[in-house]
Amino acid sequence: MHPTKKLIACAMISALFAATPGHAQEGLARQDQLQELTVDLSGISTRVKTAVNQTMLSMQNLQDYSGDEQTAQAFAALDTIEAETREVIDKIKVTSPFMSALDDARATVVVLLRKNEREPPSPARDARIAALTTSLASIDEQSQKILAAEGTLTSLLASHAQMRAELIQNGAVRAVQGFVDDLSTLTDGLEDMANVLAEISDSIVEVPPEASLAAN
């Protein structure tokens, strides 16, 4: 409680005790007890006001949700990955300079193979043909793997669209959970406030026993 408000509350309570006859004062809560309850109420009230503001913010975020920090970080990572992946795809796609150069290299190997095949038979010539044939087969195999990898990378990029949609949906769920948590905090604060108010109400006036009433 603000010091000024606390002093005012104390002064009001003191005045109440001073202005009340002795037999009535017996029916009033002790000043220090009432003072403590008043301080508790002020603290709870402050928490409730904060909880109301936070819950309002959570509800607004839920209505206007377009992504949270966690989603933004995931999107940034995807952007980097996708940019690098597209750069690689551009270098290995069928129409890329690399693949054109690979085709030229393969053609050179084929020319060498055909040239050696025209040479007179000999162990050296047969060894060269075997080596060139093996190399040509490896080049063809690696070329197919490169094309397959390019297709896989392209498919993965396409799947990122679905991944981004799921990230947004998951973020929306987190927004809902945050709203529910804030609402729960507000509810708990309101319950605490109601309990303190009830305690203050019960403590301010103690109902005297029937015998005491009859005597008065």
pLDDT for res 128? 95
Q: Domain residues of the chain, as ranges?
A: 3-61+194-215, 68-188
Share of the chain above pLDDT 70, in %: 79
pLDDT digits over 30-70, tens only?
Answer: 566 777 777 777 888 888 888 888 888 888 877 777 777 88
Instruction: Pull the structure tokens for residue 15.
Output: 């005045």
pLDDT confidence tier of residue 131, bands split at 50, 70 and 90: very high
Phi and psi at 205, nearest 5°, equal -125, 120
pLDDT at 132 over 90: yes
Residue 136, class by beta-carbon neighbours within 10 Å (0-12 exposed, 13-18 middle, 19+ buried)? middle
pLDDT band at 86 (very low <50, low <70, confident <90, very high): very high
Mean predicted confidence (pLDDT) in 172-185: 86
Bridge partners of residue 205, in order along the sequence = 28
Distance CA 55, CA 187 (A): 10
Q: Tell whether pTM > 0.95.
A: no
Looking at residue 4, what is its pLDDT?
Answer: 42
Q: Supply the pLDDT for residue 6.
A: 43
Cβ proximity of 13 and 203 under 8 Å: no
**Which pLDDT score is estimated for 100?**
93
pLDDT of 15 reads: 47
User: Across residues 148-159, what is the average pLDDT?
Assistant: 90
Cα-trace Rg, the chain: 42
> For the chain, what is the mean pLDDT?
79
DSSP-derived 3-state class of residue 205: strand
One-letter amino acid of 87: E
Residue 32, classed as helix, strand or coil, is helix
Answer whether residue 114 shows pLDDT above 90. Answer: yes
How many of the other CB atoms lie within 10 Å of CB of 178?
17
What mean pLDDT is predicted for residues 2-11? 42
Residue with structure tokens 């075997």?
130
* pLDDT, average across residues 92-106: 92
Residues 124-138, mean pLDDT to the nearest whole number: 95
What is the chain written as a DSSP string? Answer: --HHHHHHHHHHHHHHHHTS-HHHHTTBPPHHHHHHHHHHHHHHHHHHHHHHHHHHHHHHHHHT-S--HHHHHHHHHHHHHHHHHHHHHHHHSTTSHHHHHHHHHHHHHHHHHHHHHTSPP-HHHHHHHHHHHHHHHHHHHHHHHHHHHHHHHHHHHHHHHHHHHHHHHHHHHHHHHHHHHHHHHHHHHHHHHHHHHHHHHHHHBPPPPHHHHHH-
